[in-house]
Amino acid sequence: DAGVTQSPTHLIKTRGQHVTLRCSPISGHKSVSWYQQVLGQGPQFIFQYYEKEERGRGNFPDRFSARQFPNYSSELNVNALLLGDSALYLCASSLGLAGEIDTQYFGPGTRLTVL
């Protein structure tokens, strides 16, 4: 079975631009979460989506937004890019079952560089 896929793998943008990152979850998984991993640090939670609705949001500014589509794939959008947005953006998918331990499986990430 295919794992979590993300596109693009690398991206270079300049300050002030916007970016869209894409994620396809494991087949059968209905929940997608996004994380930002700055170089040398652990991943930080940005969003969780389940059945196209936002279920959780981390401490990130409103420049960050996301959505989930009927096929459970997801997009992360970042507007007005800052140098500090340079990071590896990780997508994780899970079953999203209520009341169950919901293990997250991660994709390879998108490396965003803001110049």
CB of 84 to other proteins, least distance (A): 18
Please pick, from the candidates 18, 52, 55, 63, the single residue that binds other proteins as defined by CB under 8 A.
55
Please pick, from the candidates 30, 45, 64, 79, the single residue that binds other proteins as defined by CB under 8 A.
45
Spatial separation of the C-alpha atoms in residues 92 and 54, rounded to whole Å: 14
Beta bridge partners of 33: 48, 92
Please pick, from the candidates 23, 81, 90, 114, the single residue that binds other proteins as defined by CB under 8 A.
90
104 counts as binding other proteins under rule CB under 8 A: yes
Spatial separation of the C-alpha atoms in residues 99 and 73, rounded to whole Å: 23
Q: Which residues bind other proteins (CB under 8 A)?
A: 4, 31, 33, 35, 41-45, 48, 50, 55-56, 58, 90, 92, 94, 96, 99, 101-109, 111
